[in-house]
Structure 1
Amino acid sequence: MKDRLRLNEFVHVIEIETRWADLDALGHVNNTRFFTFDESARLDYFGELMRSDSEFWKSRGLILAHIECDFLAQLHHPSRLRVGLRISRLGRSSMNTLAGMFVGEHLIAVTRGVVVWFDYTRQKAQPIPENVRAMIRARERVAPEESV
């Protein structure tokens, strides 16, 4: 799947300019930065929810349970990275994210994550609300797999 990802599969795309501080001793963007790039795209994806729900991040919201990355090419500075993020699976209380990181049309890295809809007050997972599911379904170009 990772070699076949194309930027046009993603409705949600953000641009990130690399910074000098992103480099490691070898002169390329350090692998840890790709998790930050994913985080930026993920938070931006759910920005609409954050703005419309006054309790988001206070009593309920998302919590990251897992993240992984396939590094496909080195990223050098300066670069303009385009990060596309989509929800690839909706479960009962969790969802899988998929992000493709591109320079031009060239795929540099792929991250996959699992986020859980979480009740911060009770400190436990809860079912993804229907309005959140509807927002995701309406937004995605590639329909997420659904399981309950």
Structure 2
Amino acid sequence: MARFVYEAALRWSDMDVYGHVNNARFLTLYEEARVALMFVAARKHGLTSLEEGVVISRHEVDYLRPVDYGDTVRIEMWVEEIRPSRFVIGYELFDDGAVASRARSVCVPYDLTAGRPRRLSAEERAFLAPYGPPAPPAKGGGLEPSASVPA
């Protein structure tokens, strides 16, 4: 599985009173990386439909260590799961080479005009697939339930 890598610049406004990146700003940094994947990288592959609407139905964030204000952090992303009408993005945020946070976002393709979720298109699935888990094995390739196996 490939990872999408995004370098995010930290801003003065990301800092809290303790001189660390505020916990809520981690979601903003993850959003920047997600937008780079779904808008910039997808557009390079000729795909613009993700720009037309994707909403987040869930975020999970684990804060592993404080991130001091500095130049940039590295965010690595992958697709943990692809389903007909949602996909799950996994993230790791690195500061000075160490993992500072891990997160997951459940993303739902959304038809903004109709005001409802929609299914992923074949083109969207194809774009996300290289960042995702390996495809499950094809059915019918194994032993039949009634087949005997020599001892």
Q: Taking structure 2 as the reference length, what is the TM-score of the superposition? A: 0.78
5+ long unaligned stretches in structure 1: 1-8
Residue 99 in structure 1 maps to residue 91 in structure 2: yes
Displacement of 1:104: 3.4
Rounded to whole Å, the distance in 2 between the matches of 1:144 and 1:89 is: 10
**Which residue of the other structure, out of 109, 118, 123, is the alignment partner of 2:110?**
118
Of structures 1 and 2, the larger Rg is shown by 2
Displacement of 1:32: 0.7
Q: Which secondary structure state, in structure 2, belongs to the residue aligned with residue 45 of structure 1?
A: helix
Cα distance change, pair 83–10 in 1 and its aligned pair in 2 (3 A): farther
The amino acid across from 1:49 in the alignment is: A
**1:66 and 1:114 in contact (8 A); partners too:** yes
**1:98 and 1:112 in contact (8 A); partners too:** yes
Rounded to whole Å, the distance in 1 between the matches of 2:50 and 2:122 is: 15
Residue 49 in structure 1 maps to residue 39 in structure 2: no
The amino acid across from 2:133 in the alignment is: A
Residue 143 in structure 1 maps to residue 133 in structure 2: yes
**Which residue of the other structure, out of 38, 45, 49, is the alignment partner of 2:30?**
38
Rounded to whole Å, the distance in 1 between the matches of 2:113 and 2:24 is: 31
Displacement of 1:68: 1.9
Displacement of 1:130: 0.7
Q: Which secondary structure state, in structure 1, belongs to the residue aligned with residue 80 of structure 2?
A: strand
**2:50 and 2:124 in contact (8 A); partners too:** no
Q: Which secondary structure state, in structure 1, belongs to the residue aligned with residue 125 of structure 2?
A: helix
Rounded to whole Å, the distance in 2 between the matches of 1:25 and 1:70 is: 21
Cα distance change, pair 50–65 in 1 and its aligned pair in 2 (3 A): farther
5+ long unaligned stretches in structure 2: 137-151
Rounded to whole Å, the distance in 2 between the matches of 1:67 and 1:24 is: 21
For these two proteins, the number of residue pairs brought into alignment is: 134
The amino acid across from 1:44 in the alignment is: A
**Which residue of the other structure, out of 100, 108, 112, is the alignment partner of 1:108?**
100
Rounded to whole Å, the distance in 1 between the matches of 2:126 and 2:47 is: 15
Residue of structure 1 equivalent to 2:143: none
Displacement of 1:145: 7.2
Displacement of 1:67: 1.1
Q: Taking structure 1 as the reference length, what is the TM-score of the superposition? A: 0.80
